[in-house]
Structure 1
Amino acid sequence: MKTDDLINLLAQDAPVRTRIGQALTLAVIGGILISGTIFFAAIGFRADIGSATETVRFLFKFVVTLALAVTAGAVVFRIGRPGVSLRPWGWTLFAAPLLLAAAATAEMMVMPPDSWGARMIGHNARFCLTFIPLLSIGPLACFLFALRQGAPENPGAAGAVAGLAASGIAATFYASNCTDDSPLFVLLWYPIAIALVTAVGYVIGKRVLRW
């Protein structure tokens, strides 16, 4: 049997669709619970969370991280089903980086150039690069386990998108602890941490999601 024929047969398999849909729903819930548990046990909210919520820059971090979690999550729900087109969902993955780039540009337009470097470096780079991957472990494991109930046509890509979704969840939790609210800081360090998780997801996905 040709690969294309096998994919078409799997795409028409209703039990597979139902099974992976239920598994991914449970993965989202389980991933959020695991990440949240580690977050509150390890670091928790920043000390000035009350006053921070009154600032636009703090709240905007969640616009970016939630945009990543939602768009990547939507792609995860489709990428495990063979023969299902990712369009237009794949394009929505650009929403978070475009929002962040726009915010960073706006900040550079209103802040003096000699402050850009300090804002970008910030004070919590090490914690960002540590805790976003740490908080991603649970969601990534849940997504990869759920995707095994389906049949991704590209295991590596499926693992990478799972990593994006997991890091979106993790970054949302971490953003409530991080005291660096500058879009320039978020533009530099958050993507590095997210890229690490995405790369891990790609490598693991390529191995465990093979069929």
Structure 2
Amino acid sequence: MTPTETLIDRLSENGATENGHPVRQFVAPLLAVIVLCALGVALVLEGAFAPVAEFGIMPLTVKWGFSIALVVMSATTLWLLGQPGRKTRSAMVTLAIPFVLVGLLLVLDLLVARSTFPGATWRTCLAAMAIMSPLGFAGAVVATRWLAPTNLRRAGLAAGIFGGSVAMTAYSPYCPELGMLYMAVFYCLPILAMAGLGWLLGPRLLRW
């Protein structure tokens, strides 16, 4: 076994540092930014869950189903990417599934729905995504740096998806807008933009 292979084996067991608790050090920054975003939007905006009283639980269920799934999937992908030697291609492919589902639902929605677009609150939505997505991304970067990622572009992309999905999860209870076109434009596109930024910045921010 070469010295490089020995190093990779040790890092896969211990993460980027040999001391401490990698799981705790990984999870803590992720939870911190989730709580920070939720508290921040609660302090700035009013009417949490008011859209549920007006439109029912289904719109929020769709939004949260998408965003929470991405939060969990991107965090899991980051953990796998932080373990040298682990195969991560299937995890990266899995990250695309929620976006594919939104695309399919968007086609159906455009065929049968007559929703108003872009709605009255799209500026607030974009502002919330623009402010909170980088916070979530920063937390994911801090968390991942406790590990030992070797594919830094993939890790940056997953961190970007985590940041965007955290922002969507925090803002969704305040969002009164309906329709898959709104969700695709004002949620999915900002998340994908954050993922692209993470892809570009990953090699610089996650180098160890």
TM-score (norm 2): 0.84
How far apart in 2 are the matches of 1:108 and 1:165? 28
Please identify, of 18-27 and 5-14, the stretch whose mean Cα deviation from structure 2 is larger. Answer: 5-14
How far apart in 2 are the matches of 1:90 and 1:60? 22
The answer for the alignment partner of 1:164 in structure 2 is 161
Please identify, of 99-108 and 28-37, the stretch whose mean Cα deviation from structure 2 is larger. Answer: 99-108
How far apart in 2 are the matches of 1:130 and 1:161? 22
1:11 equivalent in alignment to 2:12? yes
Q: Deviations over 1:143-186 (max 9, x none)?
A: 21121111111223212211111211110111111221211110
Structure 1 residue ranges, 4+ long, deviating more than 6 angstroms after superposition: none
The answer for the alignment partner of 2:119 in structure 1 is 122
How far apart in 2 are the matches of 1:78 and 1:18? 19
TM-score (norm 1): 0.83
Please identify, of 57-66 and 41-50, the stretch whose mean Cα deviation from structure 2 is larger. Answer: 41-50
CA 192–142 in structure 1, closer or farther in 2 if over 3 Å, else same: same
Q: Deviations over 1:30-77 (max 9, x none)?
A: 111111121111224457334146242332111111121121111011
CA 107–144 in structure 1, closer or farther in 2 if over 3 Å, else same: same
How far apart in 2 are the matches of 1:9 and 1:55? 48
Which stretches in structure 1 are left out of the alignment for 5+ residues?
none
2:50 to 48, 51, 62: 48
1:21 equivalent in alignment to 2:1? no
**AA aligned opposite 1:7:** I
Q: Deviations over 1:72-117 (max 9, x none)?
A: 1110111112111125322221221122123222322322xxx46x
The answer for the alignment partner of 2:83 in structure 1 is 81
Taking only the aligned residue pairs, the percentage that are identical comes to: 22
The answer for the alignment partner of 2:141 in structure 1 is 144
1:205 to 197, 202, 207: 202
**AA aligned opposite 1:10:** L
CA 196–17 in structure 1, closer or farther in 2 if over 3 Å, else same: farther
**AA aligned opposite 1:192:** L
- Tell me if the contact between 2:51 and 2:176 (Cα under 8 Å) persists in the aligned partners: no
How far apart in 1 are the matches of 2:101 and 2:90? 18
The answer for the alignment partner of 1:70 in structure 2 is 72
Cα RMSD of the aligned pairs, angstroms, is 2.6
CA 51–153 in structure 1, closer or farther in 2 if over 3 Å, else same: same
- Tell me if the contact between 2:42 and 2:48 (Cα under 8 Å) persists in the aligned partners: no
- Tell me if the contact between 1:133 and 1:197 (Cα under 8 Å) persists in the aligned partners: no
The answer for the alignment partner of 1:180 in structure 2 is 177
CA 149–48 in structure 1, closer or farther in 2 if over 3 Å, else same: closer
